[in-house]
Amino acid sequence: MTQFCGKTKICYGEDAMDALENLNATKAFIVTDEFMVKVGFVDRVKSHLDRNGIPHVVFADVESDPSLDTVIKGTRLFLENKADLIIALGGGSPIDAAKTITYFAHKASENPIKLTLVAIPTTSGTGSEVTSIAVVTDKQNEIKIPISDELLLPDVAILDARFTRTLPASVTAATGMDVLTHAIEAYTSREANVFTSIYAKYAIRYVFKYLFRAYNCGDDMEARENMLLGSCMAGMAFNNSGLGITHSIAHSIGGIFHVPHGLANAVILPHVIRFNSFDVGIRYQKIAQILSLPAATVEEGTASLIDAVCKMNSSMNIPNNIGALKIQESEFKAHLDTIAGNVLNDICTEGNPRRPSHSDIVDLLQQAW
């Protein structure tokens, strides 16, 4: 049996934030980071809550790649405040932290109350606002831990592109390539279906049409809005289809070498496309055809897609090999077996069209270096 599920109410457009004024809650717990406080974005959320008469407390200690320690600290504060509404404001890190706090709070309570989880993304990248997946970092063991549970699925996603306008070009690029990786891996996953493919194909089109525009001009609001929608579509796709080893490798490299997730995905993606090409069948060719790239044969379509991804990276100053990142070669080689082991144990690997062995991953990493 094939299934497609989606419970998140998606609100988008200029008045999307008004959705906060229609929520029923006794107290809100806002999960965010210091930058969101500094630029006044948290005040925008507070304003809508004040108009709805909902008191609130702010937890702004979330760092990039939220740690287990941060999530535990947030969970304790949340339980102390007895809130019934959690609002995540920020990029993937605050949203993942809020989702994990929701999960831990539910598991820690003997009689858990019904919580409402609202996600307001400020980057066009993770799609976390519509997925039941979160990633936290075990900094002691230098590993990123993906968590998958229906409790993590937000009740409401608010998409307001104005929050993304101030993103630096480098962050726009990396998070945008994260969207592309989500969409391509969702489309080629072992669990892909007709519904996930619709969302994935639209997301792929949006990235190739709008990402460089958003990167090149941060005030291009049409590009910003469509990248935010594309990110959400890709999230809806992979939440149902799963992902692949691009993400598994990025999780491990990010955990060990502290490479931002979107950047790691961007660098690794062309190498994984080549690695998976035999087992994907005609699907890379189909993507190339969607993008009007040369694709008379499966091989030509695959080569065209790899070339297009590499050119997209290069146009935004993203390298196409791991060796160009700030990683020492000796350190990388010393961790090859560890990374390969992490990849084989990563939940994202289950969806990869090619079932890899330990030596397959080591070879792929060496080629990607």
Structure tokens at 319: 């390298």
SS3 call for 318: coil
Structure tokens at 301: 């379509």
Separation between Cα atoms, residue 311 and residue 320, nearest integer Å:
9
Structure tokens at 158: 């608010």
Structure tokens at 35: 């930058």
SS3 call for 30: strand
Closest by CA position to 345, among listed 143, 184, 161: 143
Structure tokens at 218: 């941060």
CATH 3.40.50.1970 residue ranges for the chain: 9-164
CATH 1.20.1090.10 residue ranges for the chain: 169-368
Pairing relationship of beta strands 85-90 and 116-121 according to DSSP bridges: parallel
Question: What's the CATH number for 169-368?
Answer: 1.20.1090.10
pLDDT score recorded for residue 317: 97
Answer whether 104's CB lies under 8 Å from 77's CB: no
CATH of 9-164, one of 3.40.50.970, 3.40.50.300, 1.20.1560.10, 3.40.50.1970: 3.40.50.1970
Burial (CB count within 10 angstroms: exposed 0-12, middle 13-18, buried 19+), residue 116: middle
Separation between Cα atoms, residue 218 and residue 232, nearest integer Å:
19
**What is the pLDDT tens value at each position of the chain, 369 positions in all?**
677 888 899 999 889 999 999 999 999 999 999 999 999 999 999 999 999 999 999 999 999 889 999 999 999 999 999 999 999 999 989 999 999 999 999 988 877 778 999 999 999 888 999 999 898 888 887 777 878 899 999 999 999 999 999 899 999 999 999 999 999 999 999 999 999 999 999 999 999 999 999 999 999 999 999 999 999 999 999 999 999 999 999 999 988 998 999 999 999 999 999 999 999 999 999 999 999 999 999 999 999 999 999 999 999 999 999 999 989 999 999 999 999 999 999 989 999 999 999 999 999 999 999
Question: Phi/psi at 157 (nearest 5 deg)?
Answer: -115, 130
Structure tokens at 64: 């990039």
Closest by CA position to 265, among listed 276, 256, 252: 252
pLDDT score recorded for residue 307: 98
Using the CB atoms, write b or e for 355-368: b if 16+ within 10 Å: ebeeebbbebbeeb
Q: Which residues pair with 135 in a beta bridge?
A: 146
pLDDT score recorded for residue 108: 83
Structure tokens at 226: 């469509």
DSSP letters, 83-109, are -SEEEEEESHHHHHHHHHHHHHHHHH-
* Cβ atoms within 10 Å, residue 212: 17
Separation between Cα atoms, residue 180 and residue 315, nearest integer Å:
15
Half-sphere exposure of 167 (CA within 13 A, CB side): 32
Total-model pTM? 0.91
